[in-house]
Amino acid sequence: MKPLKNHALLIAMVLFSGYGYISSCTHESVLPLPAAASKTPIITHGTNVHVPGNMTVGNADEWKLDKAHSNVLWSTNYVGAAGLLTGRFNQFGMHEVTDAKMLNYITAAQPLKDSSWAFYENEPAKTYFNGYVQINQSNTGEPARDGGCNITTLGTVPIVAGTQNLTVTNLAKIKTTEVKFDDMSNDYIVTLNLTWKGTLAAPITKSIVGRLKYVPKARVQFGTGAAYDVFGLQLKFQFNCRDFGITSTSISDKVDIECNMNFNNK
């Protein structure tokens, strides 16, 4: 009878351990899942205000465009290929160029003050800016193309040494009509007018929506020079070049523009 008793004991042990295993697998013993991460963006806007004033050198309350460290870039798809065509404009500025100011300026420097803008970090309704590029200053890194087919394709005229050409034939300009907070980020949504002649008989204006990013004010110092403040604005938008009479089959309809503007208060 001893083997039978041992067999019964073994069965009891198996049943007991099985019950323990089953109870350990109930939902009561499972650790709760972590709460789902919130998808609400964290949005913070400071109170910085940046205005150009008279752009007086040495006045820390008057901000100046640091053109040497800024750029206006363009890119578009090369039709029939996977790559992009890219370039930049060598000459640009932040001034409201009225009809009376659309002239040839005999100078190598900025022909007009970069003073037609203001930025209010926490009051976007007060923010505005104007900008322009000289179309014949498009620089792809290929001189033969920049001074050749691009001139006729874009409806402009060749560069004249020592001249800043802000005439109607050579000017594209933007002017904001609304700046507001982006509800999903710290950026701003900008509505602007793009005015350009292209290859048309006269300039036309198209309303475009873009995105503005603010790079907050920071203190910098290089070498033994005095410290000063800097901040940045990055504007991105897209337009359809066919609206302006550009018919080249080498480029896509859509052209992306990126304006990286750096400012200082030196």
Q: Has residue 208 got a pLDDT over 70?
A: yes
Average pLDDT over residues 173-188: 97
pLDDT for 189: 98
Q: Has residue 12 got a pLDDT over 70?
A: no
pLDDT for 40: 78
4: in domain: no
Mean residue pLDDT across the chain? 89
Of 229, 256, 254, 237, residue with least CA distance to 187: 237
- 23-46 burial: b if 16+ Cβ within 10 Å, else e: eeeeeeeeeeeeeeeeeeeeeeee
Tokens of 41: 């963006």
pTM, whole model, 2 decimals? 0.83
- Please report which confidence band the pLDDT of residue 33 belongs to, taking 50, 70 and 90 as the band edges: low
Average pLDDT over residues 192-205: 98
Among the ranges given (3-12, 117-126, 195-204), the one the predictor scored with the smallest mean pLDDT: 3-12
Q: What is the rounded CA–CA span in Å between residue 135 and residue 261?
A: 18
Count of structural domains within the chain: 1
Q: Which residues contact 106 (CB under 8 A, 6 or more apart)?
A: 162, 163
203: in domain: yes
86: in domain: yes
Distance (Å) of CA 148 to CA 40, 93, 136, 157, 203: 51, 24, 10, 10, 22
- Please report which confidence band the pLDDT of residue 238 belongs to, taking 50, 70 and 90 as the band edges: very high
Average pLDDT over residues 27-32: 47
Amino acid at 247: T
13: in domain: no
Q: Has residue 5 got a pLDDT over 60?
A: no
DSSP state of 149: H
Q: Has residue 19 got a pLDDT over 80?
A: no
- CATH number of the domain bearing residue 105: 2.40.128.110
pLDDT for 14: 45
The 3-class secondary structure across the chain, one letter per residue, is: CHHHHHHHHHHHHHHHHHHHHHHHCCHHHCCCCCCCCCCCCCCCCCCCEECCCCCCCCCCCCCEECHHHCEEEEEEEECCCCCEEEEEECCEECCCCCHHHCCEEECCCCCCCCCCEEEECCCHHHCEEEEEEEHHHEECCCHHHHCCHHHHHCCCCCCCCCEEECCHHHEEEEEEEEEEECCCCCCEEEEEEEEECCCCCCCEEEEEEEEEEEEEEEEECCCCCCCEEEEEEEEEEEEEHHHHCCCCCCECCEEEEEEEEEEECC
130: in domain: yes
pLDDT for 35: 58
Average pLDDT over residues 90-107: 98
Q: What percent of the chain has pLDDT over 90?
A: 76
Q: In the chain, what are the helix, strand and coil shares in percent, each to the nearest 5?
A: 20, 40, 40
219: in domain: yes
pLDDT for 225: 87
Domain housing 214: 49-264
Contact (CB, 8 A) for 193 and 174: yes
Q: Which residues contact 162 (CB under 8 A, 6 or more apart)?
A: 106, 107, 108
256: in domain: yes
For tokens 């359809």, the residue is 240
260: in domain: yes
Q: Has residue 126 got a pLDDT over 80?
A: yes
pLDDT for 159: 96
